[in-house]
A and B are shown apart, each in its own frame.
Chain A
Amino acid sequence: MSVRGITVDGETLGALAPRIFRVAGIVGATGLVLSILISAVFGAWDRLLFSYLTAFIFVLTISLGALWFTLVQHMTRAGWSVVLRRVSEAIAANLTWLAIAFAPIAILVMLGQGEMLYHWADASLFDAGSEHFDEVLTKKRVFFNPGFWTLRAVFYFAVWGATARMLFGHSVAQDASGDLAHTHHMQKFSPICMALYALTQTLAVVDWVMSLEPHWFSTMYGVYFFAASLCGFISILCVTVWLLQRSGRLRGVVTREHYQDAGKILFGFGIVFWAYIAFSQYMLIWYANIPEETGWYITRQIGSWRAVSALLLFGHFCVPFLLLISRHPKRAKGALALVAGWLLMMHYVDMYWLVMPRIPADLLASAETYRGFLDAVRESGNDLGFHPHILDLTCLLGLGGVAVALTARRLRDCALIPTQDPRLGESIAFENV
């Protein structure tokens, strides 16, 4: 096929695919093995769970962002994005094996050992005779109990896996057959998949991240993750496409017009909407000033966590906002990839900031004032600040490496763009007015 003098020959990753698979696979396997070894040697199993959950949520949100992006293109019958869709489909397809990555956590919870990670999984909380008895959590037990919780996780992965496989499968099948029925099928099922996506994405982050602090709740949590997912995914999309073009692929197919539009989504959702939702959640809790809600933010303002919060405010919003507000950096491929790379790091910091801080619940409950609470924390010798751990890095390299390796393997045998998509010509010729 030829569009405006550009031959679309269905170029693939080619020889690059096995190389990426090998290198990323080795990094991933080494990371995971090292994580287990380090935990075993230093007895840091507690920390391993939190580090692993952070890395898992990081990879998961990126794949969920990719799934949303692919779905919304079909729902709106978008033309501009066709040349970016295959990369997006391939990243979304990671949702199939991520169920296996989640299995260790689910098994732990099912075996009754979940309290190492999830406070609500501690059975003694619900024993009226126990000193740990917690009346509030007893009321939430109908939702937060190992059986129902695991059942929901199975449902989420079933929905995501089926949707991602459907989108990737039909798209690749169309490359071979050129049959328009594939496009019709994807357009027909995208709206219902999107509705299920909204439901499962919201509930999943409530189950897996918000319930780390089961007393605390925020109705904006799901939307916050939606914005964060898009930040993670569009960042990685920009970086990936830029790297592919540097390797000589997608030349003349993906143009600065596509970069600009990806940059617009990154700016609109990943930076501004993220900050909008993050602030809305913060302001309501700050204004109401109810202890059961403020505790979550106090934990993130103690000691060195304060600096991490400030890093998110400036690094995830203020600075990238000013960097990307103009159209020129969005159209400069290298500049956009650079900002996207930075935002990808900020997305990891964001996930870390959500998962890691722990509330010293007893100290908070007995404190009269905020100052009294801080004094009590100091006297208790509890250091509540931000403490990086080597396991954070090994888990990130582990799951991240596996994700890159499997994405490369998925792209081994298929073209980097949907070569027979009916809107491919429109996409290649796309121009911003």
Chain B
Amino acid sequence: MSAHGQHANDSTGEVFGLLAEFETPEQITRAACAVHDAGYKLWDCHTPFPVHGLDKAMGVKPTILPVLVFFGGLTGVTLGFLMQWFTNASSLKAWFFGMVRGYEYMISGKPMMSLPAWIPVMFETTVLFSAIAAVALMLVFNGLPRLYHPVFKSKRFARATDDRFFVVIEARDPNFDRSTTHTLLETLNPTSIEALEA
């Protein structure tokens, strides 16, 4: 890996994209603005810590995850209710990996539909479904866990977890052109620019 990385700059073959290195949060925020304004879509920033205002500079749209989590919770509260109603307050038959039948349980003289007693379970299923929806959909949206990424070929990129800030513009982007993109990045005064092997 390292041997290839050393010569990545000289590569004339297929590239994954261009990697530009910056030294300060201010620089990368300005760079993000410029790349966004140039109309690129398939690009990303890598920073050692959350940089305030970077999402805005990159033009990242707000995630719809919270809305989906809300519906996850709604599903949980409904299923929690239906489960208890079916098992404790109905005598319906249903298939659930075999035929099962609800049983009308009389518990300490309470009504069959004992909502107050069911609420703790409904609360828990709400939390469970919301949490599962949040974690699972987060992984779907961000594509994690991802064990390999072309930026790992760059030796400089190791400093993304320490003290450097990186912009990567992917070659798949319709606006990507090796020389014009390179020129754009150069105008932003990066410490270095690298072409990443595909």
A287 touches B117 (CB 8 A): yes
Q: A218 near B: Cβ within 8 Å? A: no
Binding-face segment, A32-40, A101-109, A248-256, A278-286? A278-286
B117 touches A325 (CB 8 A): no
B119 touches A325 (CB 8 A): no
**Chain A residue with Cβ nearest B107:** A287
Given A431-B52, A433-B50, verify A287-B116 contact (CB < 8 Å): yes
Q: A124 near B: Cβ within 8 Å? A: no
The 8 A CB mask of B11-53 against A (1 = contact, 0 = none) is: 0000000000000000000000000000000000000001011
Q: B66 near A: Cβ within 8 Å? A: yes
**Chain A residue with Cβ nearest B67:** A326
Q: A132 near B: Cβ within 8 Å? A: no
B119 touches A279 (CB 8 A): yes
Looking at the assembled complex, report how far the CB atom of B165 sits from the nearest CB atom of chain A, in whole angstroms: 17
Q: B70 near A: Cβ within 8 Å? A: yes
* Residues of chain A contacted by B109 (CB below 8 angstroms): 289
Task: Tell me the chain A residues, 267-311 only, with Cβ under 8 Å from chain B.
Answer: 279, 282-283, 286-287, 289
The 8 A CB mask of B103-118 against A (1 = contact, 0 = none) is: 0000011100000110
Given A289-B108, A433-B50, verify A325-B70 contact (CB < 8 Å): yes
B70 touches A283 (CB 8 A): no
Given A431-B52, A433-B50, verify A326-B66 contact (CB < 8 Å): yes
**Chain B residue with Cβ nearest A276:** B123
Q: A327 near B: Cβ within 8 Å? A: yes
* Residues of chain B contacted by A327 (CB below 8 angstroms): 66
Interface size in chain B (residues, C-beta < 8 A)? 12
A-B contact count (CB 8 A): 21
The 8 A CB mask of A410-433 against B (1 = contact, 0 = none) is: 000000000000000000000101
The 8 A CB mask of A63-77 against B (1 = contact, 0 = none) is: 000000000000000
* Bound-complex Cα distance A314 to B128 (A): 24
Q: Please report whether the interface of chain A is mostly helix, strand, loop or mixed according to DSSP.
A: helix
* Residues of chain B contacted by A431 (CB below 8 angstroms): 52-53
* Bound-complex Cα distance A29 to B119 (A): 47
Given A431-B52, A433-B50, verify A286-B116 contact (CB < 8 Å): yes
* Bound-complex Cα distance A279 to B116 (A): 8
Q: B59 near A: Cβ within 8 Å? A: no
**Chain B residue with Cβ nearest A287:** B117
* Residues of chain A contacted by B116 (CB below 8 angstroms): 279, 282-283, 286-287
* Residues of chain A contacted by B150 (CB below 8 angstroms): none
* Residues of chain B contacted by A279 (CB below 8 angstroms): 116, 119
A283 touches B120 (CB 8 A): yes
* Residues of chain A contacted by B66 (CB below 8 angstroms): 326-327
Looking at the assembled complex, report how far the CB atom of A306 sits from the nearest CB atom of chain B, in whole angstroms: 16
Looking at the assembled complex, report how far the CB atom of B79 sits from the nearest CB atom of chain A, in whole angstroms: 20
* Bound-complex Cα distance A283 to B116 (A): 6
Looking at the assembled complex, report how far the CB atom of A301 sits from the nearest CB atom of chain B, in whole angstroms: 13
A283 touches B108 (CB 8 A): no
Looking at the assembled complex, report how far the CB atom of B121 sits from the nearest CB atom of chain A, in whole angstroms: 12
* Bound-complex Cα distance A282 to B120 (A): 12
* Bound-complex Cα distance A286 to B66 (A): 35
A283 touches B119 (CB 8 A): yes
Looking at the assembled complex, report how far the CB atom of A321 sits from the nearest CB atom of chain B, in whole angstroms: 11
B117 touches A283 (CB 8 A): yes
* Residues of chain A contacted by B119 (CB below 8 angstroms): 279, 283
Most B CB within 10 A of own CB, among A282, A287, A327: A287
* Residues of chain A contacted by B117 (CB below 8 angstroms): 283, 287
The 8 A CB mask of B40-78 against A (1 = contact, 0 = none) is: 000000000010110000000000001000100000000
The 8 A CB mask of B71-110 against A (1 = contact, 0 = none) is: 0000000000000000000000000000000000000111
**Chain B residue with Cβ nearest A280:** B120
**Chain A residue with Cβ nearest B55:** A433
* Residues of chain B contacted by A286 (CB below 8 angstroms): 116
Residues of B within 8 A of A (CB): 50, 52-53, 66, 70, 108-110, 116-117, 119-120
Residues of A within 8 A of B (CB): 279, 282-283, 286-287, 289, 325-327, 431, 433
Would you list 5 pairs from A and B whose C-beta atoms are within 8 A, ordered by A residue?
A: A279-B119, A283-B120, A287-B117, A431-B52, A431-B53
4 smallest A-B Cβ distances: which pairs?
A431-B52, A283-B116, A286-B116, A433-B50
Q: A279-B116, A287-B116, A431-B52 are in contact. List 10 more A-B contacts (CB 8 A).
A: A283-B119, A283-B120, A287-B110, A289-B108, A289-B109, A325-B70, A326-B66, A327-B66, A431-B53, A433-B52
